Structure 1
């Protein structure tokens, strides 16, 4: 059976996963509160809020595979919005899992975060950790097979202002000046959303990832100041960079992980988008978008 519903399929990463599923000939339903992006024009779509149990039940009906990318994804905003963060990420996940109890499910794939096991991440990280434990317990109690995917730092053309690289390249294009809240020594392992999507479907198609935790990040550890220098060079050194050296509240500096007994496999692609080339394509996309908005 290849009937899939992707909650949050209109969003940043979810939209790439929808494309990859369709490429592999899955029948995909996008369930989201917002319309799909232009790249997904013609895909089957239903307006669905994970907080609405009836809408969720209808979206899951007849589907054998469920991806859940829906929820509150802005870590910075979560610091001051604990109720909304917990409701959307935890209660929303429970609503989807409840609908899955009535389905003959092949796999439930939950989009978690590297912050789930971090002492950082504020209410966002807490909501992801709580949701992971709930997914595990639904398997223990109701035999709903799962894969929990802890995504690291993502970038890609469909990101929005919540994404650091989007903000930097947009600032570079519009203002010729980038402001980074930090000293630039923070380390990240960026992965393009299209590569993360490929791995997200590989996980579905390999039984060894059933009832497992998987970490998806990039393969190269880079300091933020190195990434900013790359962006500066892409713009032919016409931009300036300002480091505020302020405390980056809620975010990790070197690693998101804290001591925890649970084990997760790290999955990487043998072939992946070169980060520098990815930044160039991203800059081209921002340029094209800015030009179209001016017309």
Structure 2
């Protein structure tokens, strides 16, 4: 199949592209700016999901869409909710309408903490969950072929780095912890660290998106959202400990400590963000086959040690 990937130059998008090519699909990368070079089996479509005409033009030339494009962030979208509402709701509606027009299958990136919408945890969660509701409406009344895929915190090599170590505007747990530990700074944890915030290796997330899309093409959308996460949960303190240990091994330094900071707006004390991994069976997958947290952290910290750290130290 020829598959459009909205937000295809993002972190998860880059792995979805690799997974699609590995399975023999052609890829059309739909994004606002050409940042990464295309490879054999790929083409680039310059566009914005808020532009209805551009989205419909994409849909006219593909067999399915993996819809990843979104405005991210928790506290960032509380301070400025309009961009996330515009992109995540209206942009997703454009994708669903275009898919309906051309009878396309869609794998839509939902949000792993969708249950927190009731707590008003941020426009990101609210807007992404709203788009899930629209996806269900299209499936129920518009012959939609949309499968909702809800990954928890995806992590792995190539994830963007936020200040003070990089230019990303959204702080992600793996690069934030790894960059501090590799430079000898204590890891900063918001709250007491006992909150459960499950992480899933990005390659497993990409496999779930592509498998969900292929399943929808053969069998239609799944009855329930496909939740993608590890078989066993962990706390933020557990993740920090693993990162500190691996960074110490790579640098030869003593493991850094952990500093606890006040929680930020949109973060909930004692929260439990985990996936109902039984939903993976709908597409023939199992969390038992996923990369373990220990192995995933090892690969991730090694990436930042070899690919990020030398440039940072030389700057």
User: 1:222-237, aligned counterparts within 5 Å?
Assistant: 222-236=234-248, 237=254
**1:145: how far off?**
0.9
The SS at the match of 1:202 is: helix
Residue matched to 2:108:
110
4+ aligned runs moved over 6 Å, structure 1: none
Residue matched to 1:265:
279
Residue matched to 1:284:
302
CA contact (8 A) 1:36 1:45 kept: no
- CA offsets per residue over residues 22-62 of structure 1, 9 Å max, x none? 10001110101233546x54531122111112221222212
Question: For residues 71 and 250 of structure 1, what CA distance do their matches in structure 2 show?
Answer: 18
Question: For residues 185 and 17 of structure 2, what CA distance do their matches in structure 1 show?
Answer: 35
Residue matched to 2:129:
129
CA contact (8 A) 1:112 1:132 kept: yes
TM-score (norm 1): 0.88
Rate the CA distance shift 1:220–1:87 in 2: closer, same or farther, 3 A.
same
Residue matched to 2:251:
none
Residue matched to 2:100:
101
CA contact (8 A) 1:199 1:269 kept: no
Rate the CA distance shift 1:41–1:171 in 2: closer, same or farther, 3 A.
farther
Question: For residues 144 and 250 of structure 1, what CA distance do their matches in structure 2 show?
Answer: 32
User: 1:25-44, aligned counterparts within 5 Å?
Assistant: 25-37=24-36, 41-42=39-40, 43-44=42-43
Rate the CA distance shift 1:227–1:209 in 2: closer, same or farther, 3 A.
farther
Question: For residues 35 and 177 of structure 1, what CA distance do their matches in structure 2 show?
Answer: 36
Rate the CA distance shift 1:99–1:255 in 2: closer, same or farther, 3 A.
same
Q: Report the aligned-residue RMSD.
A: 2.2
TM-score (norm 2): 0.83
- CA offsets per residue over residues 110-156 of structure 1, 9 Å max, x none? 10012222234321111112101111222233212110111111111
Residue matched to 1:260:
none
Please identify, of 182-191 and 170-179, the stretch whose mean Cα deviation from structure 2 is larger. Answer: 170-179
User: 1:51-70, aligned counterparts within 5 Å?
Assistant: 51-70=50-69
In the alignment, structure 1 segments of 5+ residues that lack a partner are 258-263
Question: For residues 267 and 33 of structure 2, what CA distance do their matches in structure 1 show?
Answer: 28
The SS at the match of 1:110 is: strand
The SS at the match of 2:272 is: coil
**1:76: how far off?**
2.3
Residue matched to 1:72:
71
